[in-house]
Amino acid sequence: MNPILQSFLLIQGVLIGLMTLAGLLVWIERRLLALWQDRLGPNRCGPFGILIFVADGIKMVTKEDWIPPTADKPVFILAPAIIVVTALLSFAIIPFAPGLVILDLNIGILFFLGLSSMGLYSTVLGGWASNNKYSLLGGLRMSAQMFSYEVFMGLSLMGVVILSGSLNLREIVEAQAGMWFVIPQFLGFLIFMIAGLAETHRLPFDMPEAESELIAGYHTEYSSLKFGMFFVGEYVGVTLISAIIVTLFFGGWHGPVLPPFVWFFLKTSAFIIFFILLRAAIPRPRFDQLLAWGWKFILPLALLNLIITGAIVLARGN
């Protein structure tokens, strides 16, 4: 097949798959939380309530698209698009199977970290442009949270880079053919997973939109499709973090019997389910506790993991 045509079809498949998955995750999350909390959950709209995401989509499209009169309108409109675009672009470097990657970059990890940093602008600009004190506080919380936990996220990945000798995600997966990196880098995996939760501001780290304190935080003033873009961006972000964890620590597409892409999908789905169930299992900490925990506890652990990994690799090399 023509390489350009193959890349085009792969891009379309990833986009359609992610948009469909983001909608289905609305139903999956509600059903899993209902099961966890011993209640029924959605069961009216379609078989087992599976069409609830269609009903939610229709509701968002038909709602009034209101912009506050005092808002900075160009920035207010642009902000929701940033989180969706950055999350979708990050999937360009994910190797789903051997030869099944859109962009085989030698600096794949740096590309991912750069785009995750750019996603911060969505919440900060949305909170500022809304001209609402609760939205502004949500945006400021998000900036402090992401600035803090991005440091730990980057440090937690350095052990994987040292062991594989590459920033290319495909080469990192290939380096795990004999042993998944979660075994020698279990501490790095835990730190990355915690930092990923903070990056996607999912419960229990949803302080930027804590409804009991800030109404809805940075997207308080958003409605209709603009709110829907924030919603989709959050679920795509959860999928991205799950896929990155699988790629860096759990062998990517490696697995017996089943085709490589099926293994990648199953592993990613397991982490998505885990993140969803965390929402029902862990209470939300105070914002000052979250930041203090990161700088006083997670940062030293990330540095310790990096130092020990470097020392072991250096000792083996000698």
Does the pLDDT at position 87 exceed 60? yes
Residue 227 pLDDT class (50, 70, 90 cuts): confident
191-198 mean pLDDT: 88
> DSSP states of the chain as a string?
--HHHHHHHHHHHHHHHHHHHHHHHHHHHHHHHHHHTTS--S-SSSGGGTTHHHHHHHHHHHS-----TTS-HHHHHHHHHHHHHHHHHHGGG---BTTB-S---TTHHHHHHHHHHHTHHHHHHHHHHTT-HHHHHHHHHHHHHHHHHHHHHHHHHHHHHHHHT-S-HHHHHHTTSSS-TTTTTHHHHHHHHHHHHHHTT-TTS-GGG-HHHHTTGGGTT--HHHHHHHHHHHHHHHHHHHHHHHHHHS-TT--SSS-HHHHHHHHHHHHHHHHHHHHHHSPPPPHHHHHHHIIIIIHHHHHHHHHHHHHHHHHHH-
Q: State residue 72 phi and psi, 5-degree precision.
A: -80, 95
Does the pLDDT at position 282 exceed 70? yes
pLDDT for 204 equals 75
Quote the CA–CA distance of 261 and 14 in Å, as a whole number: 13
Closest to 94 measured CA to CA, from 248, 310, 255, 257? 248
Does the pLDDT at position 291 exceed 90? no
Quote the CA–CA distance of 224 and 227 in Å, as a whole number: 6
Does the pLDDT at position 43 exceed 70? yes
Residue 192 pLDDT class (50, 70, 90 cuts): very high
pLDDT for 1 equals 63
pLDDT top residue among 260 and 138: 260
pLDDT for 263 equals 93
Does the pLDDT at position 142 exceed 90? no
pLDDT for 11 equals 85
pLDDT in tens, 200-221: 877 777 776 776 677 777 778 8
pLDDT in tens, 100-121: 888 888 888 999 988 888 877 8
pLDDT for 199 equals 81
pLDDT top residue among 186 and 209: 186
Does the pLDDT at position 249 exceed 80? yes
Does the pLDDT at position 51 exceed 90? no
Residue ranges per domain, the chain?
A: 66-317
Residues forming a β-bridge with 100: 97
Does the pLDDT at position 318 exceed 60? no
Q: Are 244 and 196 contacting, i.e. CB atoms less than 8 angstroms apart?
A: yes
Does the pLDDT at position 233 exceed 70? yes
pLDDT for 27 equals 87
pLDDT for 269 equals 93
pLDDT for 186 equals 93
What mean pLDDT value characterizes the chain?
Answer: 85
